[in-house]
Each structure stands twice: as structure tokens, then as C-alpha cells.
Amino acid sequence: MDKVAFGSQIQELLDTEKPDITAALAMIGEQLAEDAKSAVKGFSATTKTAVEHRDLPGAIACMDFFAKRGVELKGIDLAQMREVIRRSASTTEEKLMVDSIGLASASASAIVRRLSVLLALKPEVYVSSQSWGFGQVKNIDTFYGKVIIDFEGKKGHAMSLAVAGQNLEIAQEGHLMTRLMKDRAEIEKMAAEHPGDLVRLTIKSYGPLTIQRLQERLAAIGLVKTDDWKRFWESARRSLKADKAHPVEIPTKRTEPIRILDAEEDFGDAWLKRFSKLRDLKAIYDGTLAMLADKKGELPDSYRDAVTNRLNFALKGADKSDFPRYAQVAALMARLGLSSQTDRAKQAETLTEVDEQDNFLAALKGLSARDVAATIRFILAEKPEKKAFILDHLTQLNSVALGATLGALAGDEETGAEVRKLLARQASPVPTLVVWALRNREDAAAWKAPALNELITQAIHIVEQRLAGENLKMRNALQAFFDSAKWLEEVCKELSAFDRRVMFERIQASTANEWDAASKRNVLVRMARFDTTLAKLRRTERQPQERPHLTSVRSLQAYRLAFDHLINVEIPANKKDIATARSYGDLRENAEYQFAREHERVLMGRQDEMDRTLKLLKPTDFAGVSCETAEPGTRVTIETAKGRATYTILGELDRDEQLNIISSRSRLAAALLGHKPGDKVELPAERGTESGTLVAVEPLDDAVKAWLAAIPTQYEPNA
């Protein structure tokens, strides 16, 4: 389009009471191919309009456009786009959301995803989380920056906006879990009366699944019991085969996925004509696979040009924006011989680049096991030297990607050595790898992995931990292993009597809250039934009583700000340090890289600890606290041989040396709590303890009340 006409049309779209930013961006996308200079000018005008109208959704649409086509927008950089987002937030709630996403360090695509999720969070909206499963939003607490969600396993779960933006997804209306949460009776009726419809709904919701994964999915949500699976699947299979109007591809091998087909297709000239016009990346890739399946995996010469053209289009469209699709298409073109050696080497290099994000992890995170294996083989075929790079990522892969990667590298000695090294980490085991080793005992044994008793010890250690994300899923998988009577019996049979005793004692000694008491008791009972000599080792458990976890609003807010700084500033900065250090090469002898990775482990430990603390603590203003005994929220005076001293006992995070404020978790507070004035107490001293008397218990004074009222609004490193 002529640049004058283009500029005029853009202004028409923007100079209205409600500017049509979506339409303007569509025009800019078309104009980029003809006149990039005028398109950039139009894009600048569009972002300016979003800021002037305080249109945050419009600004997010601009950021999304930049994320996909930023390379073509000469003169526009990410810093400018971040400022557009910041200045477009109008309401207090929008500003809070923008502040929570790590705007200063997040990539363009991460900003779009996080803000899109946060803006969509409204009461009654259904969401999904890798850690917590599916749930329904009950409330948005803008004061504390929390979203309250009723998950199936935990009602009223409070999640910070920072975590929600990164971990939540908005559940689709027709998704199996959304429908299950809305009307469980309807879905249970479908499972009983129309199993084929339930299978189809599950595949539509989760994408292609193997029969085993389908069974696991339906069993996990309580729709099909393990004992009923054979009957259910036979009925579903008959129903699916009989329904010609809605064809489903049922594989002959259990390792291949069930797929829903759009319709019966002859893949003739009419199909080729439609295919040649496709612009949707997924449709191009899926269409190519469907055609190849129909042609027995062969690409007819008459199809070659059209398929090459569309796959190249998909590859270009996915570059820098959709790494899973990029990996799929690159590997497929290599398999079909549609790309040159130079192009393949460049694509493999792209998939292993690390800049603002780790392209390799971004690609594998969204792929099926089959596609992961194809991607690994593709990268190693074009760049054999990348094996060390891949091995260095083993601990960061999700369970699907890890299993497929190890499968693709089966028999490789370097991989075996790395697996053995990682599985030997008793103090800090890798959850995904331990689960893989216990699920794939023969493959692990082929690489001379640690013995079963060592793997069990690591599994127990993981079950005891507070974890999040993929590691939480692995922890739950290991918990399910221990809860399975069949698995436990097989393990006990394989272990020696001595190893069974060690395992029994190790589980019994576990005091971690994460190991459910009933589950642990069942494991011990089942082991004692298998080996009656273990029954003599059973001990009576005593549940310790614990005070409530309280702290002041002031200290809790400061802790939240510190947590957000860790999530949004320190961790992203560390990832950049890792990427920079990785670029120096030779990871195994790279001191900067090793230091950055060690710092990463420290940061992850802090994140886990702080997240656990935030979940436990409750804010309080200490109003109405009785002064009959020393309690959090009281001012106490003690007398020792050294003289008198006055302290104020507050919550777990509270402390201030100038005002003599001490935490309720401090040794001094622990020695005083529950005592009355006049009581003799043993107080902590530099060496051992010293005797003293609790002289007085009084209400808080004005100085402490003023301290409590000073709620911080921004992160202070030394607070």
C-alpha cells in the first residue's frame, strides 16, 4: 500500500474514541513486507495511542506484535516497549499487575503471557497450574497482591501475582477439567455411558496421548479406576471406530498417541490446493504429518514444492517466537530432505542459542516425547559437538523431555556417565531423573545406575521436600509409587532384608510435614506385612504441638517485596549470568559458569524457603493480646544478675535492635513464652544459660506501634 494511504488509514483507526489497535496492527503486519519504514512509523503511532488512552490490553497487543516481528521493526527496542506497557496501566490493579511481572527483566513474550493471564483472572474464572492442577478463582486481593484460588486439592490457596503470572494458565471453557469442575456428575455419566466421547474430549483437551498416558490421566482425576480400565477402553475403542463422522486415529503401538482427525481426507489435488494456501503454523505442520501418514511416510514428487514452500513459511513464522514449532518443522524438513546442510546447521544452532531465554529449553518444554527425540537426533546429526550442551541441560528438562532425550541417547557412554553422576547426588537428587530411573529400571541398569536401595533413599529424600513446578509433579509421582501396594511389594522382594530394614527405618524417621502421615503409616504397615520382622521396629508417633505462625503486616509485606525482588530481579539476572558464562565455552572447566550455576542453586533454595514461609505465615496487628503471660505482642521486662532489660516480643519475622524488638522464634522469646510475671526462667547466654526472673508483661508502647504502622512500599535490601 502507498505510504500516504497507509498512514491515513492507520490514523483513521487510531483517531477515534475507542482506537482499533488490533486492526491497526494487522495493517502494519501487511505493510512491513512492502514498506518497513512506514510500517514502523505506524507502529510507533499505535503504541503512542495505547499510552495516551491508558489502554493496557492494547499495549499488550503491541508487545505481542513486537515479540513476533520485532526484528523487522527497525529502531524499536524492548526497553521502549516495556515503557509502553508501564505507562499504559491506568488503574491501581493494572499497575500492581505490571509491577508483579518483572517488567524490567522479562522478555517480550513473557510479558505478554504473564499480563494476559493476570488480566484474565476474575472471580469464577477457571485456571490450571502445573503444581496445583485445575482450580477456580475466588478473589483478587489487590492489597496483598494475591489471587485466591480453590484448587481441587487445596481450597482458598493464596498465590502471589508474580507466581500466578508465571505459572497459571486460563482454562478453556470446553476443557475436560473445566467441565469436570462445573458439573462432575455430567462427566462421570459420560465415562459410564459414552466412553468414546470422554476419550475424544480428553484428547481435545490435552492433545494427542498414548493409551497409557490417557489411562493415567483419567485415573488421576477419578473417572476410570485401574480395575475398570480394560472394560472402559474396549467400549471406547468400539465407539470411536464406529463413529465415521468424527474420525480418530487409534495407533497399533502403545507408544504412539491417539489423534483426532479433522475429517476423512483423500489428500488429492483439492487437498494440495487448500494446503498451499495455509498460513496457520500448526495447520501446516499437522497437515503435512496427516498427508505423510496417508502416503505411508513417503513424500510424492508432485507434493514436494508445495510442502517445502509451506514448511519454510512455518519455519520462518516460528523463528524466535514459537520454538517448539520451530523444532518440529526443522526436524521434519531434515527427515524429508527438504533443507540444505547449511540451513540445517543454522537451525540446530538456533535451537541451542541462549540469549534472553534458553531456546533449547523453550523448544523441548512444549514437545511430545516423539518430537523431543526427533529434535535431539536432529541437533546431534547437524551439530555433534552440542552433546555436552544437551547433557548439561538434563537437570532442567521436564519428565517427558528427559525420558525422550535419554531414549534418543541410549547406549551413549558419555550420557551414561552423566546419568550415573547425577544419580549419585544423594544430598541433592534430581527428581525427574530419579523418577525416570525407577520407571525405567532396565534402561537405568544398562547405564550402570545406582542400585535400587540408593534410588529409594533418594526418592524418600525428594518426598520429604517442599517443591514447586515440575519438581512438585515428580515428588507427587514418587509419593504415588510408595502409595502403590503392588510397587511396594515388588521393591521389598528385590531388596535384601538389611536394605528393607534401612528403608523402613528411614521412612519411619522422616518428620517432614510434606510426607502425609496416613500415607507414611500405610507404607510402614505394608512393609511390616511383607516382612514381619519389621513390625518390631514400629514406634509410637507423637505429634508436636506448634504455635500459630504469626508476624506483623509490616514484616510480612517487607518479606513479600523481598520475595518478588528475588523472583523478578535476582533470578532473571542469574539466568543472564549463566547464559553469558555459557558463551565462554567448555562448560566442564568454565569457572564463571560453575559459579553462576552454584549461585542458581542458592537462589532456588531461597525461593523454596521463602515460598514455604509465605504459605505458613499469617499477618496480625497484635491487637487485644492478653498480658497475663508473655506472648507475641507483649512487652516483657526480665531481671538477671546483670540487671534489668526490656524487650518486645512480636512475630516470626519481626526484629529491630534499636527498639529491642525480638522475633517470637528467637531463643530468648522461646524461653519466655507462656510464663507469668514472677516466674523464674532460664535465659540463653553467651555460654549456656543464665537464671533470671520475668518481672513484668505489658502492652505494646507507642514507639513499637508506630514501627508496626510503617508498612513498606518498596524493596529495601537491608530491611
Whichever domain contains 653, its CATH number is 3.10.50.30
Of the listed ranges 416-430, 534-548, 668-682, the one predicted with least confidence: 534-548
Of the listed ranges 440-444, 546-550, 578-582, 597-601, the one predicted with least confidence: 546-550
Find, among 341, 416, 417, the residue nearest to 378 by Cα.
341
414 within a domain of the structure (yes/no)? no
Which residues 6+ apart lie within 8 Å of 92 measured at CB? 142
Average pLDDT score over residue span 95-118:
88
Question: Are both 234 and 288 inside the same structural domain?
Answer: no
pLDDT confidence tier of residue 513, bands split at 50, 70 and 90: low
Question: Are both 285 and 248 inside the same structural domain?
Answer: no
Question: Are both 377 and 291 inside the same structural domain?
Answer: yes
Question: Are both 187 and 256 inside the same structural domain?
Answer: yes
Look at residue 112 and give its three-state secondary structure: helix
Share of the chain above pLDDT 90, in %: 38
Q: Tens digits of per-residue pLDDT, 260-306?
A: 876 556 778 888 898 998 888 888 998 898 888 888 888 999 999 99
421 within a domain of the structure (yes/no)? no
51 within a domain of the structure (yes/no)? yes
Q: Tens digits of per-residue pLDDT, 233-268?
A: 999 999 988 887 778 888 777 677 888 876 556 778
pLDDT confidence tier of residue 393, bands split at 50, 70 and 90: very high
Question: Are both 188 and 289 inside the same structural domain?
Answer: no
226 within a domain of the structure (yes/no)? yes
pLDDT score of 25 more than 90: yes
pLDDT of the residue at 341: 94
Contact between 128 and 169 under an 8 Å Cβ cutoff? The reply is yes
Domain ends where: 343, 364, 381? 381
- Packing angle of the helix pair 78-88, 56-69 (nearest 10 deg): 170
pLDDT score of 587 more than 60: no
Domain ends where: 34, 62, 88? 88
Q: Which domain holds residue 629?
A: 593-719
Structural domain tally of the chain? 4
Contact between 563 and 160 under an 8 Å Cβ cutoff? The reply is yes
Question: Are both 607 and 719 inside the same structural domain?
Answer: yes
Find, among 541, 536, 701, the residue nearest to 627 by Cα.
701
Question: Are both 284 and 223 inside the same structural domain?
Answer: no
Q: CA quadruple 135, 138, 142, 143: dihedral positive or negative?
A: negative
pLDDT confidence tier of residue 545, bands split at 50, 70 and 90: very low
Question: Are both 251 and 284 inside the same structural domain?
Answer: no
29 within a domain of the structure (yes/no)? yes
pTM equals 0.50
Four-CA torsion 57, 62, 68, 69, nearest 10 degrees:
170
159 within a domain of the structure (yes/no)? no
Question: Are both 233 and 290 inside the same structural domain?
Answer: no
pLDDT of the residue at 586: 54
Question: Are both 196 and 252 inside the same structural domain?
Answer: yes
Positions of E strands within 39-160: 126-129, 133-141, 146-151, 157-160
pLDDT confidence tier of residue 514, bands split at 50, 70 and 90: low
pLDDT: which is higher, 408 or 208: 408
pLDDT of the residue at 547: 54
pLDDT of the residue at 583: 65
Average pLDDT score over residue span 533-553:
72
Q: What is the residue-averaged pLDDT of the chain? A: 86
Of the listed ranges 7-11, 59-63, 142-146, 684-688, the one predicted with least confidence: 684-688
684 within a domain of the structure (yes/no)? yes
Question: Are both 256 and 284 inside the same structural domain?
Answer: no
What does DSSP assign to residue 136? E
CA–CA dist 379, 353 (Å, integer): 12
Domain ends where: 28, 61, 88? 88
Question: Are both 230 and 288 inside the same structural domain?
Answer: no
Average pLDDT score over residue span 684-710:
87
656 within a domain of the structure (yes/no)? yes
